[in-house]
Chains A and B, each alone.
Chain A
Amino acid sequence: MKTYGFYIDTVNCSGCKTCQVACQDKNDLEPGHLWRKIIDIEGGDWKNDNGVFSEYPFAYHVSLACNHCSDPLCVQSCPTQAMHVTDIGAVDIDQDKCIGCGYCTWACPYDAPKLDKRTGRMSKCDLCYDRITKNENPSCVDACPMRALDFGDIEVLKEKYGNTRSIFPLASPELTKPNIIIRPHKNSLKASVRNASIANREEL
């Protein structure tokens, strides 16, 4: 069986959020209900040398949906077994079982499952099931104007783009074995020593 995954190019991503809005459009999500979100990272600082400022700040963006992990903590934690792995290897929610307790969101290190306020149950990225079964890319991937997203069999992506599975501020891939390949931004390598933090918590 194929395992699908996303490729996220943080070098080319401009943080424009087209993928986020394309996802909301395709899945008819309300404003603020994000299956795909963009994390803005900023770090570094300004140096004030007698009124002359030198700039050392940096910023990069990480576009993140559900990583459809191979070892999903949400599936393990869900008390109802609503959270399950589908036949195409995607992690999905059975709406007939979900109680909307939100425990999956706590368990997920990527904050992927979101409460759908209209139904009172959890909801999340379903890999655009209807599109990928027609051999099309998920909406977010096709919408990206920077071509910073890619989608496909994780083994193929791995050969094409390498095998980096994490970047600041994402959790260690050991935790859930996420099916994502990341092209790390150069500043992400020194993010932890250069005072980096999430700059747009309000929008997540």
Chain B
Amino acid sequence: MTPSAKYADLVLPACTQFETWGVTDGWKYGEEVFLAPKIVDPPFETKSDYRICVDLSKKFGVYEQFTEGGRDEKDWVAWFVDEIYRKTRFPDMPPFRKFAASNAGVYTKPVYEPKIALEKFSQNPLEYPLNTPSGKIEIFSVELFKEGQADEIPPVAKYIREWDNPFDEKAEKYPLQAMGHHYNPRVHSTHDNNQWTMNGFPQRVFINPADASKRGINDGDMVRIWNERGAMILKSRITKRIMPGVIDIPQGAWYDPDEKGIDRGGNVNILTSEKWTPFAKGNAQHTIMVDIEKA
């Protein structure tokens, strides 16, 4: 069971993405559309998220409005390709029926000539100003200056110290910077229960030999990693591929606390701050100072 399912009062049998229709594009600026057809039927009683919502909408008496005339997953994908993508970003894309039948899976916008970034602006900045208050490339942003938080949102690009950093007094207690990189066997937390991939890339804390020898840690030892927010016990991997003074706990591992509340699954989130980043209001997940010891 996933850690979030452990918190749930009610668990519904949702199917995987391979058992329903889906479509996605390469983020906001991507030049591709990926079609994700249903490969197998959902096993047993599982249903797609959408189907679960449709069944609920029937009970609420809003079936017609929710499904806009009884569309299923495939109908929605067809509508999205034909009515949205083909009418906006991908006009040359084949219609859904043809695209799905070709089994191509991916549509890539063709490139006919090389593109130059800010081409018109660089040739004639007065006639083609940029979408900024001054119409120019702004080194000093008046808009950001008006935010009045020059300490954390500086109007000029510059280095700002993290809240948790190796240079202030707190670093004496927690001298190591921790980061959580995207790990090969998982997509965030998906596939953490996949034995094949996880066996190839087991969840380990990566430590530089310099930091490890200072603490008497050998490769493969269980180590305790902690700060004021939480603690975990994880197997170590001594490697020169991580910088001295930095340890790495790959992100996305499933939280698995023991009876003392110490995480054994290696979930880096138990060490991260809950403070939002000032501008994007995102989670500041690489701002962690910790210490480690042989467990």
Contact = CB atoms under 8 A, between A and B. Distances in A.
* Most chain A CB within a 10 A radius of its CB, from B196, B197, B198, B239: B196
Given A17-B184, A203-B202, A45 B196 contact: no
Q: Which DSSP category, helix, strand, loop or mixed, fits chain B's interface? A: loop
Interface in B186-211: 195-202, 208, 210
Contacts of B208: 46
Size bracket, chain A contacts: 20 to 34
A15 B184 CA distance: 9
Interface string A35-60: 00010001111101000010101010
A49 to B, nearest CB: 12
Interface residues of B, number: 20
A6 to B, nearest CB: 19
A32 B241 contact: no
Nearest to A32: B199
Given A16-B184, A17-B184, A202-B220, A31 B199 contact: yes
Interface stretch (A18-26, A83-91, A99-107): A18-26
Contact of A20 (B195, B200, B240): B200
A59 B237 CA distance: 15
- What are the 8 tightest A-B residue pairs by CB atom distance, in nearest-first order? A31-B195, A57-B240, A31-B199, A17-B200, A21-B196, A32-B199, A24-B196, A42-B240
Contact of A38 (B196, B198, B200, B240): B200
B244 interface: yes
Contact of B240 (A45, A48, A203): A45
Given A46-B244, A203-B201, 5 more contacts: A17-B184, A53-B245, A57-B240, A202-B202, A202-B220
Q: Which DSSP category, helix, strand, loop or mixed, fits chain A's interface? A: mixed
Contacts of B244: 46, 48, 53
B268 to A, nearest CB: 20
Contacts of B200: 17, 20-21, 38, 203
Contacts of A20: 200
Contacts, number: 48
A149 B184 CA distance: 19
A199 interface: yes
A199 B243 contact: no
B199 A203 contact: yes
Contacts of A57: 240-241
B197 A46 contact: no
Contact of A17 (B195, B201, B245): B201
Interface string B212-245: 0000000010000000000000000101110111
Nearest to B199: A31
Contacts of B220: 202
Given A48-B244, A203-B200, A42 B184 contact: no
Contacts of A25: 196
Nearest to B242: A57
